[in-house]
Amino acid sequence: MGNYRWIATQLTNSTADVDQWIELGAGDGGLSRYLESKRHRVTAIDLAPKPVHWPEGWDWLQQDLFAALPDLIGSQSCGIVASLFLHHLDGAELQKLGSLLTENAAHIIVAEPSRDRLIWLLSHCFFPFINSVTRHDMVVSIEAGFRGGDLAQLLSLGSDWRIEFGTTLLGAYRFEAWRQN
């Protein structure tokens, strides 16, 4: 889907005043590793333990993001990145996340599944080439994904945020928000 490359490009082009970038739902650390290779340092947060081959000196917090974020963003201007994570949160969790971010986040860069009928239909073209678990996960993720301005609404980002979003042909919902000063 090109999510890592797109997020790295957005970080490179960011003009936001960001002291620290934080990856939510880091999983296996793939995005953090990719960003580091592009000279972008992030603090990774996930419930999973630090990956076995995680580089020495890189920040990994094995915590619930709602427990970790208040301390991380308390007095700093932070940036948030996430790839294929937010669609796992329900409406109440997204609203809670939004309330944490509206205080101190300066920039939010997210790539998620697009909840688009055409993308859902096109995903079925892959069915002969993927196993049943991947088929199931793909459909569930698309159905839990985002479209239009609904992520901004779920995060309760107000008029003090500049928001851009769109969908790629490969099914990525790309969302970016900057705090306007």
| Cα separation, 14 vs 97, whole angstroms | 22
Residue 151, pLDDT score: 97
Report the share of the chain in percent with pLDDT over 70.
98
- Does the structure show a pLDDT above 70 at 170? yes
Ramachandran angles phi, psi of 23, nearest 5°: -95, 125
Residue 76, pLDDT score: 66
Residue 75, pLDDT score: 63
Q: Both tokens of residue 23?
A: 């990856």
- Provide the 3-class DSSP secondary structure of residue 61: strand
| Cα separation, 78 vs 16, whole angstroms | 9
Average pLDDT value over all residues in the chain: 92
Closest CA to 138 of 169, 171, 175: 171
| Cα separation, 43 vs 58, whole angstroms | 7
- Provide the 3-class DSSP secondary structure of residue 135: helix
130: part of which helix (H) or strand (E)? none
Give residue 147's pLDDT band: very low, low, confident or very high (50, 70, 90): very high
Tell me the per-residue pLDDT of 41-97, one tens digit each, with 9 for 90 and over.
899 999 999 999 898 888 999 999 999 999 888 766 899 999 999 999 999 999 999
Report the share of the chain in percent with pLDDT over 90.
69
Give residue 120's pLDDT band: very low, low, confident or very high (50, 70, 90): confident
Q: b or e along 128-143 (b: 16 or more beta carbons within 10 Å of the residue's beta carbon)?
A: eeeeeeebeebeebbe
Residue 72, pLDDT score: 87
Residue 152, pLDDT score: 97
Q: What average pLDDT does this structure show over 155-172? A: 93
